[in-house]
Chain A
Amino acid sequence: MRTHKALIAATAAAVLGAAPLLACAVDTDYAKIERGRYRVPAGDSAACRTDEGRKPFAGGRAVPTPFGTIYATNITPDPETGIGKWTDEQFWNAMHEGVRPNGQHLYPAFPYPWFTKLTREDVLAMKAYLDSLPPVRQEAKPPKLPWPMTIRESVAGWNALFFKEGTYRPDSSRSPEWNRGAYLVEGLGHCGACHSPKNFLGGIKKRDRFEGGQGEGWFATSLVGNPHAGLGSWSANEIVEYLKTGANDRARAMGPMAEVVSHSTMYLSDADLHAIATYLKDLPAAGEDHAKSVPSGDDPRMQRGRLVYVDQCAGCHMENGQGIAHVFPAVKGNTGVHAQDPTSLARLVLEGARSARTRAKPEGFAMPGFGWKLSDDEVADLLTYIRASWGNQAAPVTASKVADVRKKIAKGE
C-alpha cells in the first residue's frame, strides 16, 4: 500500500505537472526509494515526525524531554517549511553529525547520536524516500526550553561530553547476524534512547547501558540478560514475536512501546528481527535483577494490596496471576512487573494504556485506568502485592512514588 502511494504520488507529480511543488527532482530510482521506505519506519520516524490527525512526517508533534518540550520539524519535501531544498550532503550532516544546513546544532531529542552509526548509503536512501512523499506546508513550532538550552550552541558542549560521531564498524569476531542486530539496535532503532539510563544532562550512562531508562513518562524495561527484570528468560523467538506482533505469551507492548511496534518494528523483516534478538540476547546480565527480600503475605501492605487485586484486577489477570493466554499477560513472572523503577506499572494502573495493533494481532487490547477510584496508598499496596506474589521478587512501591507519577500524568507528561 505504501509503495503504491509513493509511486503514484511521484508519477502523478510528473504527469500532472505538479513539478513546481517540488524544488528538487524526485529521485526515480525505485530500488533506492524502497530501501528508504524500509529504513524510515525502522528508525520509527513517525513517533516524532507524525502528529496525530496531521499529515505524515509533517512534524508538529510535541516531543517531551526532561528539559522541556521540543516540537518535531517537518521532514516532508516542502521547500519552505520542510527539507525539500536540502542536498544529499546536508541531509547526511544532519543524520551523521546532528547539524543543520545553516550550521545550527540539532537538539539530541533528534537521535543523531544513534543515527550517526548509519551508513551513507542507508541515509541517502532514506532521503530518497522522504523526497518521494507529498510535500506538506507546515511550520515548525519553536521549542519550549529553559535558558541556556535555547542557545543551540550549548549543544556543542553536550556533544563534546556525550556524542561520538561515527558509522557503525562491524566486529569481525561476531557473526554477521549479530553485527546486523548491533547496527539496528545501536543505530536505526536507537533503543538505548529510552532503554538506557541517562545522567542529569540527558547523556547515556554507557556503563549501565540497556539496563532500563525513562522515556516519554514511562520506564522502558531493562534489556540485558537478567532473568527477572530483563530479557534473560526470553527466547530469541519471543523477542521476535514481541517486536513483530506487539505481544508474546509473557508480555504485551503498551504505551510508547506499542507505538514503536505499530510504527516501526512490525514492519521489519524476520531476518532483521532475529538479528536484533541475537544482539539483545548477547547482552550480559547486569545490575540488580530482583529484590533481596520481599514482604511476606501477612505484611499489612500485602493484605491490603490483595484485596484491591481481587476486586479490580482478577477479572482479567486472574486470581492466580496467570492472565489469559494470548489476551492478558500474566503478572506472575512478568518482566515489566520486576522493573526496578515502577513508573510504568503505576502509569498503567492509574491511566491505563492501549497495546499495538499489528497485522498479525490486530485486536489492540487495552487496559482501563483506575486512578479515579484508587488512592495513592491503594495503588502502592496493589503494586507491592503484585511484585511480591506468585514467586515475584520485586521491591515494594511507596505511595509517594505513585503520587509523583499521578502528578506527571496530570501535567501531561
Chain B
Amino acid sequence: MPKLWRRELLKAATLLPAMGAVAATAPIRFVPRTMPSAGGNPPDYASPPQGFLSPQEKAFVDAAVARIIPADELGPGAREAGVADFIDRQLAGPYGAAETWYMQGPWQAGTEQQGYQLKLSPAQLYRATIREIDEHLAKSPAAKPFAQLDARSQDDFLHALEKGEVKISGDLGKQFFEILVVNTVEGFLADPIYGGNRDFIGWKLIGFPGPRYNYVAEIGEYGRKYDMPFVGIAGRDSPAKEA
C-alpha cells in the first residue's frame, strides 16, 4: 500500500505534531484506559435546583395537581407525592426553559398535526396562564384564586379549562391544561430523585417496583406477583441521601 508507507515515513521524520495546519479540535483518540468510570453519574440530586414558581403560582399548581390525581380511597395522590415540587424543579431547569426545543420564529398557529407552536417555554406558559386564570377567577362570582376554591368548584373549572371554555388568551387554557396533566403524571410516576413520587406513592399505586436490572428468573414465573421492595435510582430510601 504505497499511501500507507508514505504516511508512516513522513510521520517518523517529522516526529512532533503539526504537519501543516493543526486540527484545533482534539480528536477523540481512543486510549485503552483502566481508569475508573468517570461521569455518567446523574445530576446532583442531593441539592435540588431552586424552584421557579412564586408562592401563589405554586399554590395554584399544588391545588390543581391535587385534583388531577386526588387523594382518595385508593390512597395518597399527587399532592402527597410532591408533584408540585417536581413541577417547580422541572420548570426551573432545562425543560422549563425549553432549552432543547426549536424556538426560532416566525411564529404562527398550525394544524393539530403540526404540534406545539406557541412562543412560550413551559415555564413561561405556566406563568402566563396561571396569572390569566387567577385574574379571570378574581373577576368571576367566586372572586377567589383557584387554590382557595372548594374541590368541586376546582374540578368544574378544570373541566372547563380542558374543553377550552375558559375565556383567557386564545388557546392558552386548553394547551396549558394538557401540559399540566402530562407534567402531573410525570411527577407522580418519575423516579423520586426528581422530587415527585415521594416514598414511591405513585409506583405503589400501580405496582411498578422500580428500576432493577435482572429479571432472568422472574420473567418465567408467569402470572406471579413480583413482591420485592420498591427501589429507586438512589436506592430503597427516597429521595437521594447525602453521599
Contact = CB atoms under 8 A, between A and B. Distances in A.
A12 B41 CA distance: 48
B41 A314 contact: no
A106 B36 CA distance: 30
Contacts of A256: 34
Contact of B13 (A16, A255, A356, A378): A16
A115 B216 CA distance: 50
Given A5-B8, A368-B40, A371-B243, A318 B33 contact: no
B37 to A, nearest CB: 4
A235 interface: no
A366 B31 CA distance: 14
Given A354-B34, A368-B40, A9 B12 contact: yes
A180 to B, nearest CB: 28
A372 B41 contact: yes
Interface in A338-377: 347, 351-357, 364, 366-369, 371-375
Interface stretch (B128-136, B147-155, B229-237): B229-237
Contacts, number: 91
A21 B14 CA distance: 11
B8 A8 contact: yes
A283 interface: no
Given A311-B212, A314-B214, A315-B214, A353 B9 contact: no
B23 interface: no
Given A311-B235, A316-B213, A354-B33, A373 B243 contact: yes
A354 B231 contact: no
A357 B235 contact: no
A319 interface: yes
A310 interface: yes
B37 A258 contact: no
A52 interface: yes
B32 A366 contact: no
A262 B235 CA distance: 35
Nearest to B9: A12
A411 interface: no
Which has the most chain B C-beta neighbours within 10 Å: A357, A364, A373, A374? A373
A18 interface: yes
B37 A366 contact: yes
Contact of A18 (B5, B13, B212, B233): B13
Given A319-B217, A373-B233, A351 B9 contact: no
Nearest to B40: A368
Contacts of A354: 32-37
A292 interface: no
A409 to B, nearest CB: 8
A108 B222 CA distance: 63
Interface string B8-49: 110011010000000000000001111111001100000000
A170 B143 CA distance: 101
Interface residues of B, number: 30
Given A4-B8, A8-B8, A134-B12, A352 B231 contact: no
A136 interface: yes
A364 B12 contact: no
B37 A352 contact: yes
Given A310-B228, A354-B35, A354-B37, A318 B214 contact: yes
A8 B4 CA distance: 12
A138 to B, nearest CB: 11
Interface in B189-235: 212-214, 216-217, 228-229, 231, 233-235
A353 B13 CA distance: 38
Contacts of B31: 52-53
A292 B160 CA distance: 73
Contacts of B36: 255, 347, 351-354, 369, 409
B167 interface: no
Given A16-B13, A307-B236, A314-B214, A375 B34 contact: no
B241 interface: yes
A9 B10 CA distance: 9
A381 interface: no
B98 interface: no
A254 interface: yes
Contact of A12 (B12, B33, B217, B236): B12
Contacts of A378: 235
Nearest to B37: A352
A215 interface: no
A63 to B, nearest CB: 15
Contacts of B233: 373
Contacts of B229: 307
A135 B15 contact: yes
A259 interface: yes
B240 interface: yes
A105 to B, nearest CB: 30
Nearest to B5: A8
Interface string A59-97: 000000000000000000000000000000000000000
Interface of A: 4-5, 8-9, 12-13, 16, 18, 21, 52-53, 134-136, 254-256, 258-259, 262, 307-308, 310-311, 314-316, 318-319, 347, 351-357, 364, 366-369, 371-375, 378, 409
Interface of B: 5, 8-9, 12-13, 15, 31-37, 40-41, 212-214, 216-217, 228-229, 231, 233-236, 240-241, 243
8 contacts: A8-B9, A12-B9, A262-B34, A311-B236, A353-B34, A373-B234, A373-B240, A375-B243
Given A314-B214, A369-B36, 5 more contacts: A8-B5, A8-B9, A315-B212, A352-B36, A367-B37
Which 9 A-B residue pairings sit nearest by Cβ, starting from the closest? A315-B213, A351-B36, A352-B37, A258-B34, A9-B12, A12-B12, A357-B32, A315-B214, A314-B214
